Chain A
Amino acid sequence: MTKPIRMALTKGRIEKSTVELLDRMGLDTSAVKEKGRRLILPVGDRLEVVLAKAADVITYVEHGVCDMGVVGKDTIAESGGSYYEMLDLGFGKCRFALAAPKGTDFFAGYQSRTVATKYPNVARAYFERKGMNVRIIKIEGSVELAPLLSLADGIVDIVETGTTLRENGLEVVEDVMPVSSRVIVNMASLKLRKQEIEQWIARMEAAREEQNG
């Protein structure tokens, strides 16, 4: 008997939605629901779930210590790396957007702009595509604060409903990219354990369809 497939889940909401998905696939997820302080948990006898922070899910999958991972497209876009991105699970939907104080024209004039963001790589790639030279400042916490304090002309951040933006007098200037949860797979694992991994992907896809339909 070979060892079970190891799947890293992003702790929190993605973990919850993925566990619901695994439930629909008929798997016994009780170990994940009653995990206590444990971080490696068995789900049935062919799957092992690891709980990690989003960026770490990518790191574990990239290095092959986890075969698969479930992580938001936001983290994938920011972290990059080499792995296969094989399935869009459809939950955790939101988008990256450029937002600026209501009533200002972000693109007007020739003065260079300053943008605050938690996602400097996403922001840099976005403005490079536009051919714009923009000063990017990395902020760790509430990014909305930066334009309010006049540190930045705008922000690039994740937007779900836009409520936080409105409450802080900001509005979306332009969408940058859509975001949802993705299944990523280590490149060597897919080659060495093709059948098993393809079966897991197919089962997850079927369960996703069932939920949407």
Chain B
Amino acid sequence: MKWNLRTTPEGTRDLLLEECVVRRRVERTLTEGFRLHGFSEVMTPGLEFYDLFASVIDERDMYKMSDNKGRLLVMRPDSTLPIARLVSARLQQAPLPVRLYYAQDVFHLNHGLYGRFDQVFQAGVELIGATGLRADLEMVVLAAESLLRAGAEDFRLEIGHIGVFNSLMEQLDCAPADKEALRDLIESKSYAALSDLLDTLPAGPAVEAIRRLPQLFGDASVLDQAKVLLPGETAAAALSYLQSLYTLLCDMGFEKQIQIDLGMVHRNEYYTGVIFRGYVSGSGEAVLSGGRYDTLLARFGSDLPATGFGINMDALCRLHLQQGNVAPPAAPQKLLFAPAGKEAAMHRRAAELRAAGVCCECSVYDSLERSRAYAAAKGIAELEIVNGEE
């Protein structure tokens, strides 16, 4: 037998029994929450043109292939860009804002044996055609509610604003390559390396502010510190916006779960405003990520503001499985057995039972003993013998 006939490619896996139970449960819980908020489902193809993602997602991280005309395709690495495309192309007449949700796989080509999966089941929402505090508040509230609904009681949601970073970068006199490096160092909170790089730049208030940026995370006091530290009107506007959002979220009772992180800059460049991330006890990486992206839809010909987030459902499923609060699918309640010649009667009886909501199997064996043994092995409590007499 060939070596690869009994395994799946690296980064993929089969889901069995209780893994499917928990996955469907998490999906149902999350999407039901989205639906109750007035969002409608869309599904986008698993294959898309490479160009759709080319300027946003690193080409090395995408699974690529070509179509029958030699054009480059990728396996969907993200759901936000396809939804931006479909709204621009097909939902131009819809009343704004458009509220859409999805629950589908995305594919990432992982390099090396880090134990990450290349196929990730994501659910998320996009709120398109709305700007301002009300829309941003709705997103963060829905994000927090979604984590709660999915059973993650101990969670943190951190909010930031890309305007803080962008305004500091504008005030900084340095090469684009250095700006990219600064973004990475702030994002990874590499204090030492960040300091080294900043020392090579001409000193100024922006340089000092950037030096402190990764440390500016925590409760509301961060905003007060930042107001003193961060120069520029854009930064001040971003901070007062965050302050309003934070106050509203505290009014909602999320004071303990919401944190500010001004050093959050997100690696995706399409974000333009409030950004946020969710962390859950028991999962080492962010399980939720999102933010405002007001310029993205213009690339597809419709200039609409938008915001949204995605949740890694696989990570939530892993938590449920780790906590062990998932039972494998239950055995049927009944096994039906009929002697030779009574098969049709057996299936009539089974249909009756199923109509009443009873889960039952019809025995494939023609001997009662073997049927009994099967029921015992499968854990089916009751064996019913059908003789055909009504």
Contact = CB atoms under 8 A, between A and B. Distances in A.
B43 interface: no
Contacts of B41: none
Given A64-B284, A84-B190, A182-B192, 16 more contacts: A62-B114, A63-B115, A63-B284, A64-B282, A64-B283, A81-B114, A85-B189, A86-B191, A188-B279, A188-B280, A188-B284, A188-B286, A191-B156, A191-B279, A192-B156, A192-B281
Nearest to B192: A88
Given A64-B284, A65-B284, A186-B284, A84 B192 contact: no
A187 B191 contact: no
Contact of B285 (A87, A185, A187, A194): A187
B363 interface: no
Interface of B: 114-115, 154, 156, 158, 188-193, 217-218, 259, 261, 279-286
Nearest to B281: A192
B114 A188 contact: no
A10 interface: no
A67 to B, nearest CB: 9
Given A64-B284, A186-B284, A191 B190 contact: no
Interface string A49-74: 00000000001001111000000000
A188 B193 CA distance: 21
Interface string A106-122: 00000000000000000
12 contacts: A59-B115, A62-B285, A64-B282, A82-B285, A83-B188, A86-B190, A87-B192, A186-B284, A188-B285, A191-B158, A192-B154, A194-B218
Nearest to B263: A84
Nearest to A180: B192
Contacts of B218: 194
Contacts of A188: 279-281, 283-286
A86 B114 contact: no
Contacts, number: 60
Given A64-B285, A194-B218, A187 B279 contact: yes
Contacts of A189: 284
Interface of A: 59, 62-65, 81-88, 182, 185-192, 194
A186 B115 CA distance: 16
B273 to A, nearest CB: 21
Contacts of B279: 187-188, 191-192
Nearest to A60: B284
Nearest to A190: B189
Nearest to A186: B284
Contacts of A88: 191-192
A34 to B, nearest CB: 31
B259 A191 contact: yes
Contacts of B286: 187-188
Which 7 pairs from chain A and chain B are nearest by CB?
Answer: A64-B284, A88-B192, A84-B189, A85-B190, A188-B279, A191-B279, A191-B156
Given A187-B285, A188-B280, A192-B279, A84 B188 contact: yes
Contacts of A186: 284
A194 B286 CA distance: 15
A187 B279 CA distance: 9
B47 to A, nearest CB: 28
B219 to A, nearest CB: 9
Contacts of B282: 64
Nearest to B111: A80
A63 B322 CA distance: 14
Contacts of B217: 194
A176 to B, nearest CB: 14
Contacts of A84: 188-190
Most chain A CB inside 10 Å of its own CB: which residue of B283, B284, B285, B286: B284
Contacts of A187: 279, 284-286
Contacts of B285: 62, 64, 82, 187-188
A188 B261 CA distance: 13
Most chain B CB inside 10 Å of its own CB: which residue of A64, A188, A194: A188
A59 B189 contact: no
A110 B158 CA distance: 51
Contacts of B193: 85
Nearest to B194: A85
Nearest to A178: B196
B291 to A, nearest CB: 16
Nearest to B261: A191
B300 to A, nearest CB: 30
A86 B284 contact: no
A188 B259 CA distance: 13
